[in-house]
Chain A
Amino acid sequence: MRLRARFVAGLSATALLLAGCASGGSSDGGSEGSASDGAASQDVCESAEGDGPKIGLAYDVGGVGDFSFNDSAYAGLTQAVKELDATCAEAEAGAGESDADREQRLRDLADAGYTAIVGVGFVYSVAVYNVAPEYPDTYFGIIDGFNPTKSQKDLPNVANIGFAANEGSFLVGAAAALTTKTDHVGFLGGVDGPLIQAFEAGYVAGVEEVNPDIEIDSQYLSQDDPVKGFENPAGGKTAATGMYDNGADVVYHAAGKSGLGLFDAVEAAGKGNWAIGVDSDQYLTADPAQQPFILTSMIKRVDTGVFEFAKGVDEGQPPSGYVTYDLASGGVDYATSGDFLSAEIISQIDDYKQQIIDGTIKVPAETTS
C-alpha cells in the first residue's frame, strides 16, 4: 500500500509538472490577449481573396497578440492584403522547436502555394537557408535574419530583412535621459543575445549622450529561453517593479510580450514613472489606464519590412541578400503618441536623429561588456 501511495504521489507530481509545461506552452498563442487577435488575424487571411501575392507568415513563439513585434508583422500583412490584393496564411510556432520543425512549417507554406514567405524572427535563418534552394520559385524573407552558411553566399530567393534597432533605441534613450528626474533609468531585455543587446547598446549610448552621469539598470529575463524571455509578462513585471523600487523612473523594454508586465509595473509605481514601448507604437494598443505612463515607443517598422518584401515579390523584383531599414530610410523611429514629450525635448531628439542620419553620431550595435 505504501508503495502504491508513493507511486501515485509521484505520478501526480509528474502530472502537475506536465500541466505546468502545457499551460506554459499554451500561453504562447492562446492567452486571452491573443485569442481575440487570433480570431481577427484569421479574418484577414480568411476573407482575403485577391490575385496579388500569396503571402505566408511564419511566426516565432508568441505569435500574434504580443502588441509588439509579431503584431507589427501582422500589420504589414494586413496592409498587403488591402493594398496588394494579397492572399495569406499564418502559421505559429510552438515552444521548444528544432530547426527541423521550422523547416517543416516553411515547406508546408511553400507546398500550399504561398510564394512570398516571411519568417518572423531570426530563429528562422537556418531553416530558410536549408529550405530555400528546394523552392527556387518561392521567395523567403527573414525578419532580423542572417546568413548562417559558412560560404556566406547569398541565395537569390532569400532576403534578410534587418533593422537598425540600435539607432531607434538611441533616440528613446535620449528621451529617457531628458525626462528622468532621478537620473536613474532602466532597460529590460528579453533574451540576452546579440539581437537584444543592440537595443541595449543604442539605448545606453542615447542616455549617455545626454548625460553620462545617469545610472542605468540593465536586466535580461532569460539567458537563452525565448519563452521565459519574450513570453513572460509576470517575470517582466517583477523585474520592472524591482527597477522602479530601486529608483529608476524611466524603463525601456525590448522583451516582446513580457513588456506587457512592464506596463503593469509602471501603473503600479504611479505618477512620475514612465515606461517606453518597443517595436510597435505601444501607446496605441495599451490599456487606457496604462496609456498615461507610456512616454514613447521605439518603432521598428517590421510592418514596412513585410509589406515591401511582399510588394517586391508582387512586382517581380524580390529583394535578396541583406535589406536594412534604418533611421535614414524610416525603418526605425520613435513615437510621440500621448504628447508626453515636450516640444523642447522633441526638437532635441530630432536633432540627434539628424546627426545619426548624417553620420555625425555613430551608434554602437554591441554592448561594451
Chain B
Amino acid sequence: MTALRRGVLALAAPVLAFVVAAVVTSVVLLGTGDSPAEFWQVLLTVPAGRNIVNMVNFAAILYLSGLAAAIGFRMNLFNIGVEGQYRVATFAGALFAGQAFLPGALNTVASVLVAMAAGAAWAGIAGVLRVTRGVSEVISTIMLNAIALSLVAYLLRRVGNRIGQTIETDEIPSNAWVPGFSLVPGETAELYGLALLAVVAGVGFAVVLNRTRFGFELRATGYSESAAIASGVDVKRMVLYSMLLSGAVAGLIGMPELFGASHAYGSTIQTGIGFTGIAVALLGRNTPLGIAVGALIFAYLAQQASPLGITAGISPEIILVTQGVVVLSVVIAYEVVSRYRSRLEQSAVAAALEAERRHEEVAA
C-alpha cells in the first residue's frame, strides 16, 4: 500500500463518521419540523474570541475526563464511575483547600493531590472488589456513582455554608487561586490556569503507555488477558493499579474550574462530565491525541449549540443527538475501514504471491 493510500484510509473513517452524523442530525431536524439550514448556519458560524476560550476550557475538562475513562478502556476495564470519582475528588479537594492548612501555592498543590487521592480511593473500591471478589467493575462503579452523589450531598450539608439558595464549602483563600491566562488577544475571558493539567496528563499518559513497562503490560492485558498472564503479567495488580490511576486522573477533572472560577464546591457543580468523558474516549479511540480531538469536537458542538434557541428557535438539545451519532458512527466507520483495509492487504499479498509463483514457473 502506498503512503498516500494509507493516509486517505486513515482519514476515511472520521470523515465518514461526520458525514453520517450530519445526515442523521439533518433528518432528525426535518422530522421535528426545524430547519437544518438554520441549524448548520448557527453551528458553523466562526466562534468569537470569548467562545473559543470557553471551548478550550471545556475541552480541557473533557479531555481529563476522557483520559480517566481511556486508562481503564485500554485494558478492557470499563470504569463507568468517572462521574462519582470526579464529584468525590472535587469535594475533597475543595474542602481541603478551603481549610487553608497550608499557605498559597502549597495549598493548591496539596489540594490537587488530595483530590487525586480521593478519586483514586473511590475508584480503588471497585478495583479491590474486582480483584478480590470478581465483581464486575461496570456494576460496582455505577453503584459507586449513586453512592458518591448522595454521600457528597450529605457531607456538603454537614460542612457547607448557605450562600443564597445554594450550599458551598468554605471559599478557597485567594492566595491559592490559580490565575487564568489570555488565550485570544484582546479578549477578557481567560483560559483556566489549571487547564494545563490536561496537557500534562496527556503527555504523561502517552509516555507511560508507550515507553514504560507498566504501559506495555496495560496494553498487553487489554489485547489478550490470557496471553498477558502467560507472559508473566500480574493481571490482578494491573487491574488495581489502572483503576487507581483512572480515579486519580478523574480527580483532576474538577480542578481547573475549582481553582480558576468557583473557588468552592457548591450544590450547583457541573454534572455529567464523567459520562461525557466516556463518549470522548470512545471517539478518540483511547489514544492521547485522539481524545484531544474528541474533546475539542464535543466542546465545539456544545458551545456552538448554545445560541440555537435564540437565533434559530431550535432546542439546543439536538446537539446531544449529533454527539451520540458521531460516537456511534466513528465506531462503525473504523470497523468498515479496517475491514476494507485488510481486504486490500489480502489482495496485495495474494497478488505478490501470484507474481512470485509465475516467476518461479518461468525460472523452471
Contact status B317-A25, CB under 8 Å: yes
Whether A340 sits at the interface, judged by CB under 8 Å, is no
A30-B317, A92-B315, A104-B54 known; A193-B166 Cβ under 8 A: yes
Please count how many residues in chain A sit with their CB below 8 Å of the partner chain's CB atoms: 59
Contact status A225-B271, CB under 8 Å: yes
Contact status A148-B272, CB under 8 Å: no
Contact of B257 among A90, A96, A98, A123 (CB under 8 A): A98
Whether B12 sits at the interface, judged by CB under 8 Å, is no
Binary contact readout B288-331 vs A (1 if CB under 8 angstroms, 0 otherwise): 00000000000000110011011101011101110110011001
Whether A26 sits at the interface, judged by CB under 8 Å, is yes
Whether B6 sits at the interface, judged by CB under 8 Å, is no
Within 8 A of B (CB), among A58-99: 89-92, 94-99
Contact of B270 among A46, A98, A194 (CB under 8 A): A98
Task: Determine the interface band of chain B, counting residues with CB < 8 A from chain A.
Answer: 35 or more
Q: Which residues of A contact B320 (CB under 8 A)?
A: 21-22, 25-26, 94
Contact status B273-A96, CB under 8 Å: yes
Contact of B324 among A19, A30, A101 (CB under 8 A): A19
Whether B278 sits at the interface, judged by CB under 8 Å, is yes
Contact status A11-B311, CB under 8 Å: no
Q: Which residues of A contact B164 (CB under 8 A)?
A: 122, 125, 145-148, 194
Contact status B261-A17, CB under 8 Å: no
- What DSSP secondary structure best describes chain A's contact surface? helix
Q: Residue on B with the closest CB to A134? A: B188
Whether A224 sits at the interface, judged by CB under 8 Å, is yes
Q: Which residues of A contact B269 (CB under 8 A)?
A: 224
Contact status A14-B153, CB under 8 Å: no
Contact status B324-A22, CB under 8 Å: yes
A10-B76, A122-B165, A223-B150 known; A91-B317 Cβ under 8 A: no
A interface residues (Cβ-Cβ under 8 A, vs B): 3, 6-7, 10-11, 13-15, 17-19, 21-22, 25-26, 28-30, 38, 42, 46, 56, 89-92, 94-101, 104-105, 107-109, 112, 122-123, 125-126, 144-148, 150, 191-195, 223-225, 227
- 18 more A-B residue pairs beyond the given contacts A15-B328, A94-B316, A125-B166, with a C-beta to C-beta distance below 8 A: A6-B76, A14-B78, A14-B279, A18-B324, A21-B272, A22-B320, A30-B317, A91-B309, A96-B271, A108-B310, A109-B310, A148-B163, A191-B267, A192-B153, A193-B167, A193-B267, A194-B167, A224-B153
Question: What are 30 residue pairs bridging A and B, where the CB atoms are less than 8 Å apart in the complex?
Answer: A10-B76, A11-B282, A11-B331, A14-B278, A17-B80, A17-B275, A22-B321, A22-B324, A25-B317, A28-B317, A89-B309, A91-B310, A92-B309, A94-B316, A98-B257, A99-B261, A104-B306, A108-B311, A122-B166, A126-B268, A145-B164, A147-B164, A150-B171, A192-B157, A193-B166, A223-B150, A224-B152, A224-B267, A224-B269, A225-B271
